[in-house]
């Protein structure tokens, strides 16, 4: 079976390239389940229920978030009622949302998904390693395919989580830095790993935001509006192949869809959304 994890969706440009291309991507790549990190989908920070619904309509099966999870408070109702969206599992128990979920892939395989936040250069949270142990113990034993979105800043943290969970999960895939790393691999125990799957949004930017605004604030120390940028929109994700019976990963590869390819995919989609740009 084949899993696609889409990296941090940023703003309207990120949402559009996902909704325009995922239906055709699912067909072209034979993808059975699509997981998307949508923590930056609402104007660059947070997720709104309307965006969540459009992602679902486009063929996203499961949503993960990150440090910006509660920036839009409206999403709390979705987090507490929907079965296919998770909060970081190392958030406090009182924080709204489920620490893990199980979605059914197109081939019928149940797929467990959890997200964890790193602690280096980030707001303090509970121990991600202990939280990983906890969620894995809670997941039904018959669900062999298990995907961890490790939303963290430091590559060392991410490698350590990959090694810690090697042989216990199908994949540990990183998000949050918005920059794709070229270290995709399968560890000896059968866990697919990559430090960061990258950003889905405008790449003519600073991590998705307007270059001029970030530069002005950096040089002058004066706050500006870090608006979402517009140029060079790409979908960045990673595809993992797994054995349903064991949950072992058998292949991992990066996926990038640029604007031109997105137009071609949208043209091949049964119901096309609005233009990417």
Please give the positions annotated as active site.
Answer: 68
Tell me the number of residues near Fe ion by CB under 5 A.
5
| Site residues (CB under 5 A) for Fe ion, limited to 54-83 | 66-67
Q: Which residues contact 184 (CB under 8 A, 6 or more apart)?
A: 192, 193, 194, 238, 252, 253, 254
Residue 200 C-beta: closest distance to Fe ion, Å? 10
Task: Say if residue 7 is exposed, middle or buried (CB neighbours under 10 Å; 0-12, 13-18, 19+).
Answer: buried
DSSP H or E stretch at residue 174: strand 171-175
Q: Given the complex with Fe ion, which of 20 and 151 has the nearer CB atom?
A: 151
Q: Is 54 helix (H, G, I), strand (E, B) or coil?
A: helix
| Site residues (CB under 5 A) for Fe ion, limited to 20-59 | 40
Residue 125 C-beta: closest distance to Fe ion, Å? 12
Mark 202-231 with x for binding to Fe ion (rule: CB under 5 A) and - for no binding. Answer: ------------------------------
Q: Given the complex with Fe ion, which of 54 and 71 has the nearer CB atom?
A: 71
Q: Given the complex with Fe ion, which of 24 and 35 has the nearer CB atom?
A: 35
Q: Is 176 in the site for Fe ion (CB under 5 A)?
A: yes
Q: Is 124 helix (H, G, I), strand (E, B) or coil?
A: coil
Count of other CB atoms within 10 angstroms of residue 251:
12
Q: Given the complex with Fe ion, which of 23 and 174 has the nearer CB atom?
A: 174
What are the DSSP calls for 245-272, one per residue? TT--EEEEEEEEE-HHHHHHHHHTSSS-
Q: Is 155 helix (H, G, I), strand (E, B) or coil?
A: helix
Residue 197 C-beta: closest distance to Fe ion, Å? 11
List of residues contacting Fe ion (CB under 5 A): 8, 40, 66-67, 176
């Amino acid at each position: 079976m084949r899993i696609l994890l889409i990296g941090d969706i940023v703003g309207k440009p990120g949402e559009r390239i996902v909704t325009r291309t995922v239906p055709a991507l699912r067909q072209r790549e034979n993808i059975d389940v699509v997981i998307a990190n949508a923590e930056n989908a609402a104007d660059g920070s947070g997720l709104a229920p309307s965006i969540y619904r459009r992602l679902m309509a486009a063929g996203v099966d499961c949503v993960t978030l990150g440090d910006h999870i509660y920036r839009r408070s409206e999403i709390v109702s979705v987090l507490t009622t929907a079965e296919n969206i998770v909060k970081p599992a190392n958030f406090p128990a009182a924080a709204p949302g489920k620490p893990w979920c199980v979605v059914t892939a197109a081939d019928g395989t149940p797929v467990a998904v959890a997200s964890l936040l790193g602690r280096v250069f980030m707001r303090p949270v509970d121990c991600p390693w202990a939280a990983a142990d906890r969620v894995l113990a809670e997941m039904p034993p018959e669900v062999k395919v298990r995907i961890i979105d490790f939303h963290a800043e430091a590559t060392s943290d991410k490698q350590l989580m990959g090694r810690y969970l090697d042989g216990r999960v199908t994949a540990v895939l990183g998000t949050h830095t918005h920059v794709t790393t070229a270290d995709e691999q399968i560890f000896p125990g059968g866990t697919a790993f990559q430090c960061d799957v990258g950003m889905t949004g405008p790449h003519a930017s600073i991590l998705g935001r307007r270059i001029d605004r970030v530069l002005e604030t950096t040089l002058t120390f004066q706050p500006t509006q870090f608006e979402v940028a517009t140029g060079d929109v790409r979908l960045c994700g990673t595809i993992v192949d797994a054995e349903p019976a064991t949950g072992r990963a058998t292949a991992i590869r990066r996926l990038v869809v640029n604007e031109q390819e997105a137009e071609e995919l949208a043209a091949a989609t049964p119901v096309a959304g609005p233009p990417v740009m």
